[in-house]
Structure 1
Amino acid sequence: MEMDTLRPVRPARPIAAYIGGKKRLAPLIVERIGAIPHRSYAEPFIGMGGVFLRRDRRPPAEIINDVSGEVVNLFRVVQRHPDALEAQFRFLLTARATYDVLQATDPRGLTDIERAARFLYLQRASYGGKVTGQTFGVSPLESAAVDRRKLRPLIDGLAQRLAGVVIENLPYGALLERYDGPGVLFYLDPPYHGSEDDYGAGVFPPGEFERMATQLADLKGRFLLSINDTPEIRRVFAAFPMDEVRLRYTIGRSAATEAAELLICDLRSADCRPQRSLFDNPHSREPRG
């Protein structure tokens, strides 16, 4: 398949933090994705788009998906009603009282735009981009997380990037089945092994990695999967080429620690080795968002 199916696109910044992001690893993943020929690109676990939004080339067809209705509603509202979403923040402040009120509000009684604004506020104002067990996050060294002046360019950039993108709200397996075919590339960023409940009870149940491996083995398209490196993950995906990438993190003023991630790809790839290595030494650890 010809590589000239990919066209330049302006990258966008994630609109909020979200557990599961790939800020440190994204450049390497984007490079690897760009080296795999494809005419259609699909992400079953989009989160806040930490990899998708950092791509600088796009194929003719793009599909993003998440099982979270809150995530999907936010992207759909940004895609179709960016001005109305931005207007919701006209009188909202980064304040614990406001946070508590919105956290206690049942989103089922809100309009889609109000619901998107509530979710975006909580993701920006919560500590670490959590989606369960959220707490109000503030720092004496940083400006307010919910600031209309900050949000306007983020919403505009995301709305432009989402033009022409299909947005789905399906279990990952249903998305793979619906969109699989020659020329399709799936990038999968599932919950980390051992941290499945961070996304909510039952969202990614025990045994799901085995089911995923079975489905990936039967794909007509191509795939790239990023996941934390554990003995169980190596066992489950042993049939596929994989490469280890080591990252070094620091949290606050604590000593640096190393973490290993795996890039796992389909059997049509000779290996999963990226074109360059990644060895980070950041001053602080970013939330996975």
Structure 2
Amino acid sequence: MKKVSPAAPVAPWLGGKKALSAKIIERIEAVDHATYAEPFVGMGGVFLRRKWQPKLEVANDFNGEVTNLFRILQRHYPQLMDVMRFQIASRREFERLRQVDPVTLTDLERAARFLYLQRQAFGGKLGGVFGVASDRGPRFSLSRLEPILEAAHERLENVVFENLDWADLVTRYDSPNCLFYLDPPYWGGENDYGKGLFDRSQFQKMADTLGRIKGKFILSINDWPEIRDLFAAFRFEEVSLTYTVAAGGATVAAELIISNFEPRVGLF
């Protein structure tokens, strides 16, 4: 393990794990492992915040816009900043870019477009609406974004990026020295990240696949009876989180951290 500087996620993301990341990372860093792999990396809410780097790190997402952004950020950070340097926070620009087919763009332009849309979309929702609030500045500000991107660029050094189905990623990288962290769509929110990318039947497949791996895994998911039934063979840790809602109140959510081992929290 090598100590590294953590970084913040480069953009909001639905289910970005801001409230739960510290608990998850504490358990990740209590496990000896040579390979760390995330089948559902999203915007890196856990991946980027870790402080210890094993020999191999793998960031995977079935959404090609995600993996393209991280690859460009890793290898072409100065060029990405040049593309975004004159971008402004604008509903009209947001709507224009949302209508652009990313297939018609270069990889660099695609990364800039995706990052711009995610920074400005309300709640970090894919394909969401333009987000603005009367009590704070714009969601897109290059002066605030630049240090975040630079820190992520440095943290992503030597990371391997994959654009595979989650099950293919697990099969490809499984070994006795591998640790997987899985953050799949929540039960009841299977289409939150795009229709056809994940369906409810995948949970049974996930439980079966994880029951056969040689390595270790940590999985975070919302606490539902169906989830408890499907993953009954593994260890459950109950977590209660309080989320602030738009109206100014708060709601309590029950979540589970599921694993196939007993975490030795506090190793590092």
TM-score range for the pair, normalised by the shorter chain length: over 0.9
CA-to-partner distance for each residue in 1:145-194, whole Å, 9 max, x for gaps? 22221222122111101100001000000000000011000000000010
Give the conservation status (yes or no) of the 8 Å contact 1:86–1:151. Answer: no
Q: Distance in 2 between matches of 1:43 and 1:102?
A: 29
Counterparts of 1:1-289 in structure 2 under 5 Å? 6-132=1-127, 134-266=128-260, 269-270=261-262
Find the residue that maps to 2:84 and give its secondary structure: coil
2:163 and 2:118 mapped to 1: Cα distance?
Answer: 19
1:232-287 CA-partner distances (Å, limit 9, x unpaired): 10010011111100111221344322111101001xx24x6967xxxxxxxxxxxx
How far apart, in 2, do the equivalents of 1:159 and 1:254 lie?
35
- Percentage of identical aligned residues: 50
Alignment-mate amino acid for residue 92 of structure 1: Q
Q: Return the offset for 1:92.
A: 1.2
Q: What is the TM-score with the length of structure 2 in the denominator?
A: 0.96
CA displacement at 1:206 relative to structure 2: 2.6
Give the superposed CA RMSD. 1.3
Indicate if the aligned counterparts of 1:226 and 1:261 stay in contact, CA closer than 8 A: yes
Q: Which amino acid aligns with 2:141?
A: D
Q: Deviations over 1:206-239 (max 9, x none)?
A: 3100000000000001100000000110010011
Indicate if the aligned counterparts of 2:60 and 2:162 stay in contact, CA closer than 8 A.
yes
Is the 1:126–1:135 Cα contact (8 Å) retained in structure 2?
Answer: yes
Point out where structure 2 has 5 or more consecutive residues left out of the alignment: none
In 1, Cα distance between the equivalents of 2:264 and 2:258?
9
Q: What is the letter of the counterpart of residue 226 of structure 1?
A: S
Taking the aligned partners of 1:179 and 1:62, their CA distance within structure 2 comes to 10
Q: Residue type matched to 1:62 in 2?
A: E
TM (norm. structure 1) is 0.89
- Count of aligned residue pairs for this structure pair: 266
Task: Return the alpha-carbon distance in structure 1 between the equivalents of residues 245 and 83 of structure 2.
Answer: 34
SS in 2 for 1:257: strand
Q: Secondary structure at the match of 2:192?
A: helix
